[in-house]
Chains A and B, each alone.
Chain A
Amino acid sequence: KAGVTQTPRYLIKTRGQQVTLSCSPISGHRSVSWYQQTPGQGLQFLFEYFSETQRNKGNFPGRFSGRQFSNSRSEMNVSTLELGDSALYLCASSLEWGNYGYTFGSGTRLTVV
């Protein structure tokens, strides 16, 4: 079965712009989580969605937002980009909320210049 698909794979944006990243979970998976990976901070949890509702949120500013659609696909939006937002953004899906068996996508590499 197809894995978790994230688009685009690479993105270059200018400071102050906004960006939308997309994640298609494994078919049948209803929970989608987003993580930011940077060299110094490792993997940091952004938020988790289940049944179109945000169930969990990490410690990121309000510029980071997300949503989930009825088909479980999820989007993540970052507004007013800052240089420090340059990172690999990873999406993970699981069957149900609270299921520990997350499968990660390959990520979207965002570079802010």
Chain B
Amino acid sequence: DQQVKQNSPSLSVQEGRISILNCDYTNSMFDYFLWYKKYPAEGPTFLISISSIKDKNEDGRFTVFLNKSAKHLSLHIVPSQPGDSAVYFCAALTSGTYKYIFGTGTRLKVLA
């Protein structure tokens, strides 16, 4: 049972435009969410996170939105750059468990 789902395995976006990566979860106990970026042959690197007490967190070009009622979060990258081309994983966890549940990832390709 996939508790965290990224239904789009891939996404292509033109350089300078907005990239929107989506993530859905089923477990209402999740209260902390993270996005990781992964380049080939490297481990994932932490990008941005959001606690369930917020509905938005922004860090430079990256903004994460959380819709608790819909159990949905999204990562917006504006403007998209070719260096953003990578696989993006969303992860969720319940405070106190510290056990990340990852989605299957979305491969983003930013076209120059």
Given contacts A42-B89, A56-B97, A97-B98, contact A105 B43 (CB under 8 A): yes
Contact of B46 among A44, A58, A103 (CB under 8 A): A103
CB < 8 Å A-B pair total:
57
Closest to A40 in B: B104
Q: How far is the CB of B26 from chain A (nearest CB, A)?
A: 15
Q: How large is the interface on B (under 10, 10 to 19, 20 to 34, 35 or more residues)?
A: 20 to 34
Q: How far is the CB of A37 from chain B (nearest CB, A)?
A: 9
Partner-B contacts on A (CB < 8 A):
4, 33, 35, 40-45, 48, 55-56, 58, 90-92, 97-98, 100-107
Residues of A within 8 A of B93 (CB): 100
Residues of A within 8 A of B102 (CB): 35, 42-45
Closest to B93 in A: A100
Determine whether the beta carbon of B44 is less than 8 Å from that of A43: yes
Cα separation A104 to B102 with both chains bound (whole Å)? 14
Determine whether the beta carbon of A100 is less than 8 Å from that of B43: no
Determine whether the beta carbon of A106 is less than 8 Å from that of B99: no
Cα separation A42 to B38 with both chains bound (whole Å)? 12
